[in-house]
């Protein structure tokens, strides 16, 4: 007879793997969807495996040396440097404790609670004006003082805190226009990652000069530390220019954006002011490897939706200007914006008059009026709360802004190459990756995006099998579609190419754990931990694998490490509950699961484990309540994997059956089973409904099927014991009862017995 360790170990493997799929997971693995396109596993690719041919290896940039050269600019260009440092871009990032500490303008204290969930954040400014952030719902968690102020203060003042060499966004932002503290971008939703919203390279890139990013990690950076945007970002590598001037020569001029062709001139501004719907670093490239004068498209691929809407984002200037008739290569950003002017803005009507004259023939206003005031609306941005900006879509005829802005829609288009080229596998790979990223984020087009991503990636990877990012994105699409075989095959291809990439190692570990390959999962975990030693998801996966290998002491050490890093976070609470079950402490397990679901309403794996434990304890009203709350929380959340929704439906059907809601229970259970799904809870629900209808033979058939599908589920054995007892088969009922008790199930008085 198996010990208690076995069923809980199985639950641990399932729960932590599901947690890896959940959108709540703080540094989620590769996530996402897919159609049933088959992916055939093959041998590990060689080092010479084909990668996108159009992307040559990028030069390594020494940003420390680039910044040292920048420091010499002030000697010859003091007015320009001083004006730049006073401009919004020159104030893009400031370090607390640095040479120019940020000026305090914020209110000294504030509290923010997300709309749903058991989280509450506070901020307090100390005597020096340094904000410190706390998660009041997690008393075990340490306060987090800000390391950086990010943003110029024109529109927002956000904050970064550091844990070792990893950077995170603080949960509260100061909004100067309203003079209030509010949720930071990404923290206004119920499923945000506590205090641990990672600052990834694409986010940091638009607010600071690049800092060396640890390849394969999510948010680790090495020296030199991030600093505000400097001369290099617009004028390129100035080292040769500085050396020549110091030697008395007048050669090697820096890049002057105004002298570049229209496309490369736009690239200089677009590196930060054209985020689009999706922005990806090209394979083998990093965001910090672009320099002015290069083609931005060789480093970063930016995609927009084909059909524009009236809504616009805080960094959509380049896209909106391109959609204007005036922006079709005719207007340059610097015609309206003067980066070295004291206030960073020239007369923005001058460029208009150059084409339209002092008084345009259809303009009813005076020629001296501000053209942009009528033809470029100022409105709320779609992605950042409390921020109003000028929409850079230039309208021919002034019109009132819409009260309910429409978002862009339709297919994704690469800004640099809007014309489709189906014969180019590199283009198809990039477009497939873009659709995959869009599907992971979720939204009204998630199913269409997932299908397009899967089709494009499957075809492109036949020609470019050396793309680790492509395989990882395909795996994520297969995951969202519930295609387990496709997920497993794709993630193994990715792991063979980039075992140290944290996203990939997490996905490989989860895939192998689900297949019961604990030793192989450990190898994936160790590869990822070599890149990111403090990855909580990998530490939990390590505990998971060690439990399955019966190495309990090591598993507890791995869990304790994860708890020390993220006390009170949902995934850690989930593991804490499962380990409490190993110790036969049902009350402690229920408390951990309940705390996880209160803290993160969208954390479906925690909901399912809380439900499973409540069902073992025969606390059916509470079990139904937690599932009903789960459905309410995930309603409209397209990125929830279908397999998780099916599990929620099966769980609700069983709880409804136990509480006498036979019609609703039967409808849900039959709907799942007729689709051919092996859902034990749905079969159990049918067994209960049949018994309540007096159909004991049918009930026994259903419950026999349930214990066959889930032999370690104590509730299945308890239900079988009840039906056997009701039919007078006392000896068999006693044996089923003993099995149920061994598995932790408590007796109950079911409705309708």
**Region 26-33: what's the mean pLDDT?**
28
Which helix H or strand E contains 279, and what residues bound it?
A: strand 278-281
pLDDT at 1 over 60: no
Please report, for residues 604, 630, 645, the alpha-carbon distance to residue 649 in angstroms, rounded to integers and kept in the order given: 12, 10, 6
Task: Name the average pLDDT for the chain.
Answer: 85
* pLDDT tops 60 at residue 673: yes
Q: Which of 552 and 60 is assigned the larger pLDDT? A: 552
Contact at 8 Å (CB) between 384 and 156?
yes
Alpha-carbon gap, residue 204 to 197, rounded angstroms: 13
Predicted confidence at residue 30, as pLDDT, reads 26
Query: What would the mean pLDDT of 534-541 be, rounded to a whole number?
Result: 94
Q: How far is Cα 85 from Cα 81, in angstroms, rounded to an integer?
A: 6
Helix (H) or strand (E) holding 379: strand 378-380
Residues 6+ apart with CB under 8 A from 3: none
User: Tell me: the pLDDT tens digits for 337-349?
Assistant: 888 876 555 567 7
DSSP 84-122: HHHSTGGGSEEETTSSSPPPP-S-SEEEE--SSSS--EE
Helix (H) or strand (E) holding 512: helix 502-514
Give tens-digit pLDDT for 591-624: 999 999 888 888 888 899 999 999 999 999 999 9
pLDDT of residue 26: 31
CA–CA separation, 227 and 94 (whole Å): 7
Most confident of 52-56, 418-422, 603-607, 727-731: 727-731
> What's the CA gap between 167 and 198, in Å, rounded?
6
Give which of 203, 12, 163, 199 is closest to 566, Cα–Cα: 163
Give yes or no for a contact between 416 and 299, defined as CB atoms under 8 angstroms apart.
no
Give the tokens for residue 310: 């009236």
Q: What is the mean pLDDT of residues 705-713?
A: 94
Least confident of 70-79, 382-391, 564-573: 382-391
Segment 667-681 shows an average pLDDT of 94
Asked if omega into 114 is within 30° of 0 (cis), the reply is no
Q: Is residue 130 very low, low, confident or very high in pLDDT (cuts 50, 70, 90)?
A: very high
Does residue 164 carry a pLDDT above 80? yes
Q: Which of these ranges, 44-53, 81-90, 173-182, 566-575, has the smallest mean pLDDT?
A: 44-53
- φ, ψ of residue 690 to 5 degrees: the values are -65, -40
Residue 109 has pLDDT above 80, yes or no: yes
Cα Rg, the chain, nearest whole Å: 29
Give how far the C-alpha of residue 685 lies from the chain's centroid of Cα atoms, to the nearest Å: 36
* pLDDT of 99 higher than 70: no
Within a 10 A sphere around the Cβ of 127, how many other Cβ atoms? 7
* pLDDT tier at 650, thresholds 50, 70, 90: very high
Confidence of residue 377 (pLDDT cuts 50, 70, 90): confident
| Lowest-pLDDT range of 30-39, 218-227, 597-606 | 30-39
Is the pLDDT at 326 greater than 50? The verdict is yes
When pLDDT is averaged across residues 57-84 and rounded to a whole number, the result is: 88
- Give yes or no for residue 4 having a pLDDT over 80: no
- Name the band, by pLDDT with cuts 50, 70 and 90, for residue 364: low
Handedness of CA 441, 445, 450, 455 (dihedral sign): negative
What mean pLDDT comes out for the span 103-118?
A: 85
CB 226 within 8 A of CB 204: yes
The closest of 579, 650, 646, 664 to 611, measured between CA atoms, is 650
Percentage helix, strand, coil for the chain under 3-state DSSP, each rounded to 5: 45, 10, 45
Tell me what pLDDT residue 33 has.
24
Mean pLDDT of 632-645: 75
Q: Please tell me the distance from the alpha carbon of residue 562 to that of residue 543, in angstroms, as a whole number.
A: 9
Interior/surface letters 469-497, b for 16+ CB within 10 angstroms, e for the rest: bbbbbbbbbbbbbbbeebbbbbbbbbbbb
Contact yes or no for 455/415 (Cβ under 8 A): no
What is the layout of strands, in order, in the sheet containing 148-150? 93-95, 148-150, 158-163, 166-169, 197-198
DSSP class of residue 188? Answer: S
How far is Cα 627 from Cα 658, in angstroms, rounded to an integer? Answer: 14
Residue 597 burial class via C-beta count within 10 angstroms: exposed 0-12, middle 13-18, buried 19 and up:
buried
pLDDT of residue 406: 85
| Residue of higher predicted confidence among 398 and 440 | 440
Which of 150, 1, 5, 7 has its CA nearest to residue 582? 5
pLDDT at residue 75 greater than cutoff 70:
yes
Q: How confident is the model at residue 388 (pLDDT cuts 50, 70, 90)?
A: confident
Report how far residue 268's alpha carbon sits from residue 157's, in angstroms, rounded to the nearest whole number: 24
**Residue 76 DSSP label:** H
Asked if 407 and 309 count as a contact pair (C-beta separation under 8 A), the reply is: yes
> What was the pLDDT predicted at 25?
35
Dihedral of CA 298/301/306/310: which sign? negative
Inform me whether the pLDDT recorded for 3 exceeds 70: no
Q: What percent of the chain has pLDDT over 70?
A: 86
DSSP helix/strand/coil, 314: coil
End-to-end CA distance of the chain, in Å?
30
Determine the pLDDT at residue 346: 58
C-alpha 454: how far from chain center: 19
Note the pLDDT of residue 34: 26
Query: For position 361, what pLDDT does the model report?
Result: 59
Biggest CA-to-CA distance, the chain: 105
């Amino acid at each position: 007879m198996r010990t208690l360790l076995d069923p809980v170990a199985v639950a641990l493997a399932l729960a932590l793997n599901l947690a890896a799929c959940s959108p709540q997971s703080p540094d989620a693995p590769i996530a996402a969807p897919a159609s049933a396109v088959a992916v055939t596993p093959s041998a590990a690719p060689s080092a010479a495996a084909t990668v996108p041919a159009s992307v040559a290896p990028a030069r390594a940039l020494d940003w420390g040396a680039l910044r040292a050269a920048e420091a010499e600019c002030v000697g010859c260009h003091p007015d320009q440097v001083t004006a730049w440092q006073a401009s919004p871009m020159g104030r893009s990032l400031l370090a607390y404790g640095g040479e120019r500490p940020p000026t305090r303008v914020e209110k000294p204290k504030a509290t923010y609670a997300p709309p749903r969930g058991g989280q509450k954040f506070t901020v307090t400014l100390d005597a020096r004006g340094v904000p410190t952030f706390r998660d009041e719902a997690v008393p075990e968690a340490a306060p987090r003082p800000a390391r950086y102020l990010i943003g110029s203060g024109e529109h927002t003042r956000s904050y970064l805190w550091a844990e070792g060499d990893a950077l995170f966004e603080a949960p509260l932002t100061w909004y100067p226009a309203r003079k209030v503290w509010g949720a930071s971008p990404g923290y206004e939703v119920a499923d945000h990652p506590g205090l641990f919203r990672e600052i990834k390279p694409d986010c940091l890139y638009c607010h600071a000069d690049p800092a060396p990013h640890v390849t394969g990690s999510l948010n680790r950076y090495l020296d030199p530390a991030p600093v505000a945007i400097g001369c290099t970002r617009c004028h390129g590598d100035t080292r040769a220019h500085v050396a020549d001037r110091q030697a008395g020569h007048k050669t090697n001029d820096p890049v002057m954006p105004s002298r570049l062709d229209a496309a490369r001139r736009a690239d200089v501004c677009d590196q930060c002011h054209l985020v689009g719907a999706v922005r990806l670093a090209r394979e083998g490239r990093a965001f910090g490897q672009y320099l002015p004068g290069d083609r931005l498209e060789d480093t970063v691929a930016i995609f927009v939706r084909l059909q524009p809407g009236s809504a616009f984002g805080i960094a959509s200037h380049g896209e909106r200007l391109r959609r204007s008739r005036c922006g079709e290569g005719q207007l340059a950003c610097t015609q309206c914006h003067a980066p070295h002017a004291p206030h960073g803005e020239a007369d923005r009507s001058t460029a208009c008059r150059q084409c339209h004259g002092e008084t345009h023939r259809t303009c009813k206003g005076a020629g001296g009026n501000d053209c942009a005031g009528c033809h470029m609306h100022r409105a709320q941005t779609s992605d950042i709360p409390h921020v109003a900006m000028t929409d850079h879509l230039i309208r021919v005829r002034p019109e009132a802004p819409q009260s309910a802005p429409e978002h862009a829609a339709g297919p994704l288009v690469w800004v640099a190459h809007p014309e489709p080229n189906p014969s180019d596998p590199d283009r198809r790979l990039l477009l497939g990756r873009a659709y995959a990223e869009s599907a992971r984020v979720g939204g009204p087009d998630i199913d269409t995006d997932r299908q397009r991503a899967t089709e494009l990636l499957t075809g492109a990877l036949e020609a470019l099998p050396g793309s680790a990012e492509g395989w990882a994105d395909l795996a994520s699409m297969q995951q969202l579609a519930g295609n387990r075989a496709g997920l497993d095959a794709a993630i193994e291809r990715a792991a063979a190419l980039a075992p140290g990439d944290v996203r990939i190692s997490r996905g490989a570990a989860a895939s192998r754990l689900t297949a019961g390959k604990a030793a192989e999962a450990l190898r994936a975990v160790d590869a990822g931990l070599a890149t990111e030693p403090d990855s909580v998801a990998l530490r939990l996966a390590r505990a998971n694998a060690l439990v399955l290998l019966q190495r309990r002491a090591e598993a507890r050490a791995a869990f304790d490490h994860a708890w020390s890093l993220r006390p009170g976070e949902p995934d850690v609470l989930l593991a804490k509950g499962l380990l409490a079950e190993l110790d036969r402490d049902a009350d402690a397990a229920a408390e951990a699961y309940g705390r996880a679901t209160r803290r993160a309403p969208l954390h479906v794996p925690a909901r399912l484990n809380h439900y499973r434990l409540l069902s073992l304890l025969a606390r059916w009203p509470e079990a139904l309540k937690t599932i009903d709350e789960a459905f309410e929380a995930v309603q409209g959340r397209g990125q929830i994997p279908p397999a998780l929704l099916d599990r929620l439906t099966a769980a609700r059907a069983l709880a409804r059956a136990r509480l006498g809601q036979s019609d609703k229970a039967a409808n849900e259970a039959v709907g799942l089973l007729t689709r051919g799904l092996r859902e034990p809870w749905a079969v159990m629900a049918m067994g209960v409904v049949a018994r309540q209808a007096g159909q004991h033979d049918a009930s026994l058939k259903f419950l026999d099927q349930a214990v066959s599908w889930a032999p370690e589920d104590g509730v299945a054995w308890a239900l079988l014991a009840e039906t056997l007892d009701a039919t007078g088969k006392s000896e068999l009922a006693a044996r089923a009862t003993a099995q149920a008790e061994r598995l932790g199930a408590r007796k109950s008085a079911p409705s309708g017995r």
